[in-house]
Amino acid sequence: MSSSPETSLSAAQVTPQPARNTLAPSFEDKDIYKVVLETRNFEISLFWQRSNYFLVLNSALAVGFFNLKASEYAFVFALFGLLTSVLWLRVTLGSKYWQSRWEHRLRLIEQQVAPNLNLFAADWSTIQTSKLVLRTTVLRARSRLGLNDKYSKSNQSATT
């Protein structure tokens, strides 16, 4: 069988084109980044709200447990406290999963939209370099202001 010119594919049709925003083609890249960032921040606020609810519940159980006059309900309070603590742990781990998931999405989008931004896409060496620069800047500012304390390296070397 010979291929006719109508059925043969050109090189442009065979070459795969890079995918553009498979999440929602109608959104701009910055809009997607903004939505994902807001979702991550929302997950963090939900994490703290849930933690506060469990803290209040566990505190109430502890107050009830330690104010018992009769010991017949002590086991029930202790068991309920243990159950709420385990639930709190599992809810916290679930919240951490979603926070990490959205931060991973932010990292991927950031690498596409603004590769030099490095808010979520920074590698470990960039983070360590930033920490070193920050530490050096703080120490210089403290020495210029005369705020060196007994724990700083300059004072330790002067005393030994």
Q: End-to-end alpha-carbon separation of the chain, Å?
A: 92
> Taking the model in full, what pTM does it have?
0.57
In degrees to the nearest 10, what's the CA dihedral of 103, 107, 109, 111?
A: 170
Q: What is the pLDDT of residue 27?
A: 59
The two tokens of residue 98 are 């979603």
Is the per-residue pLDDT at 26 higher than 60?
A: no
Q: For residue 28, what pLDDT band results from cuts at 50, 70 and 90? A: confident
What residue ranges do the domains of the chain occupy?
A: 25-122, 123-160
Across 94-122, average pLDDT: 84
Contact assessment for residue 85 and residue 58, using Cβ atoms and an 8 Å cutoff: yes
139-149 per-position pLDDT tens digit: 888 888 887 76
Q: For residue 25, what pLDDT band results from cuts at 50, 70 and 90? A: very low
Contact assessment for residue 120 and residue 113, using Cβ atoms and an 8 Å cutoff: no
The two tokens of residue 83 are 């159950």
Q: What is the pLDDT of residue 29?
A: 75
Cα 28 to its chain centre, rounded Å, is 24
Residue 11 belongs to what H/E stretch? helix 11-14
